[in-house]
Structures are given as structure tokens and as C-alpha cells.
Structure 1
Amino acid sequence: MRPTGRLHLGHYHGVLKNWLQLQRDNDCFFFVADWHALTTTYEDPRGIPEATREMLVDWLAVGIDPEQAVLFVQSAVKQHAELHLLLSMITPLPWLERVPTFRDQQEQLADRNLATYGFLGYPLLQSADILIYKADGVPVGEDQLSHLDLTRQVARHFNWLYGREADHDEKVEAAIKKMAKKAAGQFRKLRAAWRESGDAEALEQGKALLAEQQNLGRDDRERLLGELEGRGREILPEPAALLTPDAKFPGLDGRKMSKSYGNTIGLREAPEQVTEKIRTMPTDPARVRRTDPGTPEKCPVWELHQVYSDAETKAWAHEGCTTAGIGCIDCKGPVIEAVLAEQAPIRERAEQLASDPDRVWELVAEGNRQAAGIAEETLTEVRGVLGLGR
């Protein structure tokens, strides 16, 4: 995560609960992406250190465990930057310009100067973040799938460049010459379109073209398929997407909970503030008076019932609203109780951590060391195939 300071319930239900499950079953790396924060806030980075500490406190308070996972700060592991640099040498610019979020964020953040390499190249830095640990899976939402696709493409390209057999080019040319002249020319064009521009349609057409060639043996066909896709010895594994459900946790106004909307409940917000926020939430506008029946599906409070209430409580709230048997304040009561009960242990652990800030940095320092050691192993291999060093 980028360091944004204290987290809210949307972060907990949308991301952190998934992390808790992942750390029980996998070797996980969770890190504060402070370099990524600079891609859009480079003009005023002064708040990053405090935002980092506050976010780490929240991670630890919900149960992210340094004994089960490696917990670190990105900028403390310099190997990320080195791999990013090395990957930038082989990554065509059109691959980065084609990432959907590049244009989207430029439009959304039109008030900021984002005409920088840092902003254009941040998906490649994400690729370095992933590939340096040879991750086999990355938890992402659908909006991040294009970034993971880029990571796989970069890994495949790297492996093709530096993991091929010594006489690969000669064998490929010999195999191409076995094809008809027109088919051979078409193969070369499709290969260039996929490799240089990432044209997925060209890749599929190239595969179909190879399947039609009757005068290619199995070895030649497989070699040309690998040439087309850009496959070589696996130096940097291609990670899979661990797709997480679209967790649109409702905010106080019914929209997705987000700091930018000002509709959040902080993960460790004071109980009296939480109570007041929920008690004053807007409800179905049709319920002007206590005796007016309402429609729960039009009420933001009903969305919170979907998260926090059991079937019996939801049935009570639905019937009470549609028949005007209960008032809106009554309906909000079980939600307030459930949110406060969820927050209580998190708030208690956070208070203990906040009272001893050195402890937070000690835990992260150990994670920094662990991450750097593993990252260095990958960098040693990468430097070797690139001919760097002795």
C-alpha cells in the first residue's frame, strides 16, 4: 500500500482481511510503497514518514504478523530500485503508455504535473517489486490486472532475452525458412507487433499461423512458438493473479468508502465519534416522518447491515423499515454495536503500539533486512545473466 496515514474500515474489509488469510497459508511480503507515493506527491513529500508509521500501526493492530510475513518499507530495500533500472533497459515505452491507469490517473489528477518518468514508469517499478521476490501470486483487484499483465510480459521478455540457448537465433531462422515465403514474412511481422507493441491480437494470429504450418516438425514448432511468445529459461517467474472480490465497502453516504469522499470511519476512531457518524448517516429520503415506510435498498445504513448483521437482524431491520415499525435511529443501533465491537481489539492494540513507536520501527527494520537478503539473491542472478560485476 501507498502510505496514506491512518486506515479506515474500507481498507480493513477490502484488503487487510484478505492479507490476514494469505499470511496464514503463504510466505507473504507486505510493504509500504513510499517510492510509489512520490509518483504523484513528489512536490510535497513531507507527510510520508508520519503516514508510513500510522499505517504500519494499523497493519500490526489488525493482526499482520511479522512472525508470519515479511513486513518492510520499500525505500529501505534498495534492490527494488536496481531491478527497476535494469528492467527499464528492456521495456519498450509503448508497453507503459498502454497501461489503462496511466491515462485514467492523468485525467483524474489533472491539477498535478504528472508528465514525469516516475509516473509513466511506476507500473514497471511495481513489476520490480513483484519479480524481485519471484512471487508466484499477487493479490489484486480487477483494476490492477493490467499492471500484473505488464509484469508477466516483462518477465517473459527478460527470460527470452537472457534465458535462451546459445544457438537459439540460428535455429529460429532455420525453422522460419522451412515455412512458405509469405507465411515466414507474416510470422516476422506478427512477432514484431507482439514484442514491440504488445499487440495481443498479433500474438493469437501468430499462434494460429504456426498451427497451420504442415512442414514444421514438433521441435521447430515449439521453438517458434517460444520465439513468438518470448519464452526462455525461467529466470524471473511469471506471477499469477490472486483475484480478490470487488470489496466496495459502503461509506457513510452510500458511495464506496474513501478519504477523497470524506465518508469514512477510521479503523481506530474514537467510539463516540463512530457513534455520532453512524447516527447522523443519511437514510431513505422517503422517510420524512417516523411513521413513513421506507425502502431499505435506498438506504446507506442497509448496506452496512449487509456487512455487519446476521440474517435475523437483517430481517428485523428490513421489515421494520418497510412497515415503519422502527425508526431510523433504531435501525442504526445494531450497526453501531457491531462496528464498535469490531474496532475495540484493533483500537486497544493500536494504542499499545502508538505508545511505543520505537517498537514499530524495530519490527519493520527486521523485515527490511529479511526482504533485502531475499531480493539480493535475485539481483545476483540477474546481474550474472546481464554480465554485470566480476
Structure 2
Amino acid sequence: MFANRILSGMRPTGSLHLGHYHGVIKNWVELQTRHDCYFMVADWHALTTNYDEVAIIEKSIWEMVIDWLASGVDPEQATIFIQSKVPQHAELHLALSMVTPLGWLERVPTYKDQMDKLNHKDLATYGFLGYPLLQAADILVYKAGLVPVGEDQVPHIELTREVARRFNNLYGREPNFEELAKAAVKKIGKAGKQFEQLRTRYLQDGDGEALLAARELLAASQNLGNSDRERLQGYLENKGKIILPESEALLTAASKMPGLDGNKMSKSYKNTITMRETPEDVSKKIRAMPTDPARVRRTDAGNPDKCPVWQLHEVYSGDDTKEWVKAGCTSAGIGCLECKQPVIEAVVREQQPMFERAEKYLANPNLVKEIVFEGCHKAELVARETMKEVREAMGLGY
């Protein structure tokens, strides 16, 4: 299992805004320095709900990738690729659909939730029902150990684990599995005896600590190839070869980026600041924000807790500025436009490096396409290896 590998993606359905930056991309920039990161433009996923608005997808792809690069995603550290350009995603999705019970998809919480939220669209489609399985294929085709998600997406990762478990139980038992596993134990060297002891403790006594210790021993071994490592992961738990490892959810903090009206920042609410909004438009939008309804006149005292601008101060302002806002608002010592000015300056300051990084990509669009082309090539090499194992396991290796 590639415990250090991360898979994450975004759908190209329009301009990215500061909610995307604070909720997802900022986290990617940190993760890429510590993990083997694969960041995916999820264009197949865009079609699950936007199948009737395809014109927006291509334009959004390139704008979105530029936003990622402008935010600090580094193609030297992370792999950036387009989902549909790596055909193994669709192939694994099809393979997994052969063994995934329909009820597993119907019980995913976001399925009915999205059906209700998007009731203006006809989502009674196979693609929409199956999108959690496509998401599972996205993860499993790279054998990603970690998937950064918010709490609402945890059920998707659990489905991915269940699908991987079912696949391994159906197809992971090789004809000469025991012999191959014992031969792999010998390759560990002196640690092989310790591995066998830990395995016995786990299988006979249900010792969870022994299981963890044996997994750590496998992860530390330098003498095992990927096939032997996966074989021993299955042997350890008295299963077959682990063809598709079970990923773990890497919980990320929910975005605290509010929209211009105090609700969650969202395109559907029309309350966004895009990631590369001009300083003039940032100023115009924030200056037009609603404030505490009790402040009808400049001399009326207000309550920051009832003002959407205060929520932006919570994101952007330091303690001194927040104290100044509280004191000035509750005493009518400052006006609403004065209160908004530090937020305007902070947003413009945050976006300035994004504009600077974006310049070279806007001036040379081919550079963006080269980055994505190389990323797609690298991603496909990894995905091909997984699909080779999957085909062989399912009797399609001829």
C-alpha cells in the first residue's frame, strides 16, 4: 500500500473562489511537501451533474489549473492531471461496477441529499448513481493511502474501503498464494521470524497491536517488491493478496470562509470572491456587503456577531484589528466602511502572490498544457500497473 500517496481532485464547473482556496487548495499546498500527491481535474465527475452544460468544462479546466498553480501547487512536487485523459479510471470503474451491490450506492448519504438540492435537474441517471464508485476507482487506481476529505465525504471513503475489501476477497486468492507468501517472508530476512510471530498473535489472539506492528515491519522492509508487499498484507490477515489496498480518510477542517452575505461561500449563492479577483472588484464587493441591520445611521451602535463582515474579520484579521472592530462597532466609534477596509486590504494582500504566479501561465498557456500532459503521463503509468493486476485477478490477463 502506498501509505504516503494522496489523491484529491476538484470538478471543473466554473471559476474557483476563496472558499475553494481556504477549504481545499491551501491544504494541498501544505500536503505536497510531505506526501506523494496526485491532484486530479475531475472532468468525468463534472458530467455527473453538468451533463447538459458541457461548454463550461474545457474553459474551466485550464482556469482551474492556473488557479492551483497560482495558489502554490508545485508541479515539481505534485502530479497534476486530468481524469478523463487517464482511461484506466473509467476501466476500473467498469470493473468495480461488476461486483458492487446496487444497495451500497443507493445508501450513500450524499446521493439523496444532492438529489434534493439539485431537484431542478434530472439526476435519475446511471452516472449520478455511480459517481461514488467512480470516486472509489479514482482512489484505488493509484492505491492512494490517504484521501483528504471533509466529514461529509467520509461515507465515500468507507464505500471505497468496502469495495476494495469485496474485490480482494473475490479475486485476491492466487492458486499458489501460501507458497508465494512464505517465499516473500524469507525476503524480509531476520525480521521474517518476528513477522510470523506477530501474525500468529494477531490470528490466534486477535491482538490488534501485533497487527499494527507487523504492518509497520512490512512498511519498513526494503527488500520487498510491490507484489510481495501486497501479498504479505493479505497473508498477515489470513486473506488473499491485497490487489486494491483500503485507503484512509484524512480529515480536513471545514472551510470557515464565509460568503459576502454571511452564508457559506458558493457560486449557487452568488456571494463569492474569485481567487484572482481584481483589487478594484474586491473593494467594490466588500464595500457593498450588508452589515448589522441595527446600524441604520453612522451614529447607531452595532453588534459584530450580527454582521457578515465580522465573519471575514475572523478569517483575515489579527487580534488587535478584531478588538478595534468590536470596540468601534459597539460604540459607533467607527463606520461600516471603516470596518470593511482592513478586510479589503487583507484579501488583496492574500491574492497578490496569486496574480504574480499566474502571470507566466497566462502569458504562455502552452506551459500549463505541458504540465498537465506530463502529469497525465505519470498518472497513467501508475494506473496501468494497477489495471494490469486487476485484469489478471479478474481473469482478463490474456
Query: Which category of TM-score, normalised to the shorter sequence, fits these structures?
Result: 0.7 to 0.9
Instruction: Tell me which of 333, 350, 369 is aligned to 2:341.
Output: 333
- Match of residue 251 from structure 1: 259
- Distance, in Å, in 2 between the alignment partners of 1:230 and 1:304 is 53
- Match of residue 71 from structure 1: 80
Alignment of 1:186-205 (within 5 A): none
- Match of residue 49 from structure 1: 58
Instruction: Tell me which of 290, 299, 319 is aligned to 2:307.
Output: 299
* Secondary structure of 2:356 counterpart: helix
* Secondary structure of 2:32 counterpart: helix
CA contact (8 A) 2:260 2:271 kept: yes
1:290 lines up with 2:301 in the alignment: no
> Structure 2 vs 1, CA of residues 105 and 231 (structure 1 numbering), >3 Å: closer, same or farther?
farther
- Distance, in Å, in 1 between the alignment partners of 2:205 and 2:107 is 30
> Structure 2 vs 1, CA of residues 353 and 5 (structure 1 numbering), >3 Å: closer, same or farther?
farther
Letter in 2 for 1:299: C
1:312 lines up with 2:325 in the alignment: no
* Secondary structure of 1:49 counterpart: helix
Instruction: Tell me which of 8, 13, 29 is aligned to 2:17.
Output: 8
Alignment of 1:1-390 (within 5 A): 1-164=10-173, 232-390=240-398
- Match of residue 216 from structure 2: none
- Match of residue 177 from structure 1: none
Matched residues, percent identical?
Answer: 63
Q: Deviations over 1:316-367 (max 9, x none)?
A: 1111111111111111111111110111110222233122111111110000
CA contact (8 A) 2:39 2:79 kept: yes
The offset of 1:160, in angstroms, is 0.9
Letter in 2 for 1:302: W
Q: What runs of 5+ residues in structure 1 fail to find an aligned partner?
A: 169-217
Q: Could you say what the CA RMSD is over the residues aligned between the two structures, in angstroms?
A: 2.0
- Distance, in Å, in 2 between the alignment partners of 1:122 and 1:271 is 38
TM (norm. structure 2) is 0.81
CA contact (8 A) 2:388 2:397 kept: no
- Distance, in Å, in 1 between the alignment partners of 2:318 and 2:205 is 58
> Structure 2 vs 1, CA of residues 158 and 80 (structure 1 numbering), >3 Å: closer, same or farther?
same
* Secondary structure of 1:25 counterpart: coil
- Match of residue 201 from structure 1: none
The offset of 1:35, in angstroms, is 0.4
CA contact (8 A) 1:159 1:230 kept: no
* Secondary structure of 1:389 counterpart: coil
- Match of residue 185 from structure 1: none
Letter in 2 for 1:372: E
* Secondary structure of 2:73 counterpart: coil
> Structure 2 vs 1, CA of residues 219 and 354 (structure 1 numbering), >3 Å: closer, same or farther?
closer
CA contact (8 A) 1:84 1:124 kept: yes
Letter in 2 for 1:35: W
> Structure 2 vs 1, CA of residues 231 and 93 (structure 1 numbering), >3 Å: closer, same or farther?
farther
Letter in 1 for 2:53: D
CA contact (8 A) 1:84 1:128 kept: yes
The offset of 1:42, in angstroms, is 1.3
CA contact (8 A) 2:164 2:245 kept: yes
Q: Deviations over 1:176-196 (max 9, x none)?
A: xxxxxxxxxxxxxxxxxxxxx
- Distance, in Å, in 1 between the alignment partners of 2:88 and 2:175 is 29
- Distance, in Å, in 1 between the alignment partners of 2:41 and 2:384 is 19
CA contact (8 A) 2:104 2:159 kept: yes
CA contact (8 A) 2:42 2:82 kept: yes
CA contact (8 A) 1:156 1:232 kept: no
Q: Deviations over 1:184-243 (max 9, x none)?
A: xxxxxxxxxxxxxxxxxxxxxxxxxxxxxxxxxx96897xxx9xx995432111111110
* Secondary structure of 1:241 counterpart: strand
Once superposed, which parts of structure 1, at least 4 consecutive aligned residues long, lie more than 4 Å away? 165-168, 218-222
Moved more, 61-70 or 108-117: 108-117
* Secondary structure of 1:43 counterpart: coil
CA contact (8 A) 2:256 2:315 kept: no
Letter in 2 for 1:42: Y
- Match of residue 231 from structure 2: none
Q: What runs of 5+ residues in structure 2 fail to find an aligned partner?
A: 1-9, 178-201, 207-233
* Secondary structure of 1:80 counterpart: helix
Q: Deviations over 1:224-266 (max 9, x none)?
A: xx9xx99543211111111011113111000011110000011
